[in-house]
Amino acid sequence: MTDDTDTSSTERIAKYLARAGVASRREVERMIEDGRVIVDGEKLSTPAFKVSGSETITVDGKPVRPPQQTRLWRFHKPVGLVTTNTDPEGRPTVFSALPARFPRCVTVGRLDLNTEGLLLLTNDGELARTLELPATGLKRTYRARAFGAVDQPQLNTLLDGVTYEGVTYRSIRARLVKRTGANAWIEMTLTEGKKREARRALESLGLRVSRLIRTAYGPIKLDDLPVGEVDEVPTEDLAAAFGKVHPPLNALKSPASSQSRQGPVPQPRKGARVARKHKNRRETPR
């Protein structure tokens, strides 16, 4: 298969599949390398191939629907879920916990197995990639319960950044909220989002984190969304929150005009509830 089409009505397959919510552009490129993407019956061999949207495209044998209007959801991730599509160890994933018939989506970054709290989901891989990039500068806020003695001056040293076990982390703002016995509740704000960054930063101060909750990602807050539940960020809030860092959001249509394109509202799994309101009250440590 060759790429002999280059018009304003086409785009690279990796970007197209990212917008369709298959995965991030980088992950799609890996899928292509592994021979998992088929276009009009032929295995794709290059991420430079361009499509118009009229092609029949499958990934892992499953047909891909054309990109829909960008949507964003908040999910209150509980402890014990991995943030991957599948897990070789057979552990439950974030996606297996979502309501039945939930739209195809990707996560904005990851939360490790033992971290809980706000996880953003979107059907637009391009948006996910933008929001993940450290260069975008979005603040991630966490509440940590840590065992050990610490005071505010020690936490202030994290403002200068820290190198721990060979990894350097950028400036982290940490505030001592309260002490409960031998534990301390600490609020942390960071912008880089490296793997296990919040935990390792506190470990560098001799603390042991026993609970970690992400309470905000940029201007989107966890608030009082119950554990295990998911709700959609209204279109107008999505554009207001991230339109500056991802300009295509500014062209989103209103819910009334885009409702028919968004498809049916996902139904919750048995025994689960789906929150419908996007609230703005601040969560307190539990």
Active site residues: 112
Q: d(Cα 110, Cα 218) in Å, to the nearest integer?
A: 15
Q: What order of strands is seen across the sheet that includes strand 37-39?
A: 42-43, 37-39, 57-59, 62-63
Q: d(Cα 101, Cα 81) in Å, to the nearest integer?
A: 19
- Can you give the chain as a three-state secondary structure string? CCCCCCCCCCEEHHHHHHHCCCCCHHHHHHHHHCCCEEECCEECCCCCCEECCCCCEEECCEECCCCCCCCEEEEEECCCCECCCCCCCCCCECHHHCCECCCCCEECCCCCCCEEEEEEEECCHHHHHHHHCHHHCCCEEEEEEEECCCCHHHHHHHHHCEEECCEEECCCEEEEEEEECCEEEEEEEECCCCCCHHHHHHHCCCCEEEEEEEEEECCEECCCCCCCCEEECCHHHHHHHHCCCCHHHHHCCCHHHHHHHHCCCCECCCCCCCCCCCCCCCCCCC
